[in-house]
Amino acid sequence: MKRSQQYLLMAVVFLAVSCTAGSQKTPQGIQHVIIIGIDGLSSAGLRKAATPTMDSLVAQGSAVWNARTVLPSVSSPNWASMMHGAGPEAHGITSNEWELDSVRLPPVVQRENGRFPSIFDVVRAQLPDAEIGSVYEWGGFGRLYDKASVNYDAHFDTPDSTAEAFSQYIATRKPVFAFIQLDHVDGAGHHYGHMTKEYLAAITHADSLIAHILEGIAQAGIADQTLLIISSDHGGIGHGHGGEHPEEVTIPILIAGQGVKAGYVVQQPTYTYDIAATAALALGVTQPYAWVGRPIKPAFMGFEEPAY
């Protein structure tokens, strides 16, 4: 074969490989998405506390250290944004006083039940046979989504009982999508102050509970098919939160599991509502047009940071 023909063949092969790589639209091999939400966990707190389990996940996966909450930096608007793929101006959950029967700001789009579409709703609509679960320590968490879209919905009063129930649920039911909310870190921040030794100890406790949840995933036999996302609704400063201080609005997002880059730090600007979009991408479901969240694609193998 002439040298010119060899070069031509190499160019054709390179172009074919490039096109194949560029055509990848979703991460591959993910059949389960588990979200662990730790109320009040700041990026500064996670970096300082003793967290061997999350440290290992950071080493094995990708991390966003400067993700931004929505405002106000309180629980209901941010948990809602995390599961609804948009901010309060879209989903209408603007404060901790929000209730479905006393809505002040209507959602920009509404399902028949008056709610903005959540990730629970999207997975249920597009994967109707999927097992979907939600377990939470803060009772107010359960009012933020339509419980008709989940198979298992449970509230427990302590972080240990909440994590135990969630771990057992995963082990026995192998959910396609599941969400747990742990509340005790936020409680330590309010009672003792953020970045105090008690607050950091609460984060260490949360880390041990994550290890227990990972045991449930392993027991279910789905570890190599699971995407794990760990994040928070807000940080805090002093004994509170709700304002615009960087310590209040800066949260971590840890992404680990199937198809995730190891030891990678995501650079793209990232927000609370991008978590719902990332879960939708991973499960291969289409996010609603009304969502503004963008998937955190650079965390996955085969995807690069946006150009600008």
Laid out side by side, the sheet with 264-265 consists of 152-155, 132-136, 177-182, 32-38, 226-231, 250-257, 62-68, 264-265
| Confidence bin at 20 (pLDDT 50/70/90) | very low
Write out the two tokens for 207. Answer: 């880390």
| Confidence bin at 24 (pLDDT 50/70/90) | low
Asked whether the bond before 72 is cis by omega within 30 degrees of 0, the reply is yes
pLDDT recorded at residue 25: 81
For the chain, what is the mean pLDDT?
93
How many Å apart are CA 133 and CA 249, to the nearest integer? 27
In this prediction, residues 199-225 reach a mean pLDDT of 98
| Confidence bin at 137 (pLDDT 50/70/90) | very high
How many Å apart are CA 259 and CA 298, to the nearest integer? 11
What pTM value is reported for the model?
A: 0.92
124 touches 118 (CB < 8 A): no
pLDDT recorded at residue 193: 98
Tens digit of pLDDT for each residue in 39-55? Answer: 999 999 999 999 999 99
Write down all domains in the chain, each with its CATH number in brackets: 27-299 (3.40.720.10)
* DSSP-derived 3-state class of residue 136: strand
Q: Please list, residue by residue across 269-299, b when 16 or more beta carbons sit within 10 angstroms of its beta carbon and e when fewer do.
A: ebbbbbbbbbbbbbbebebbebbbbbbbbbb
Question: How many CB atoms within 10 Å of residue 35?
Answer: 22
Tens digit of pLDDT for each residue in 91-121? Answer: 999 999 999 998 889 999 999 999 999 999 9
What angle do the packed helices 75-84 and 274-283 form, to 10 degrees?
A: 30
In this prediction, residues 204-217 reach a mean pLDDT of 98
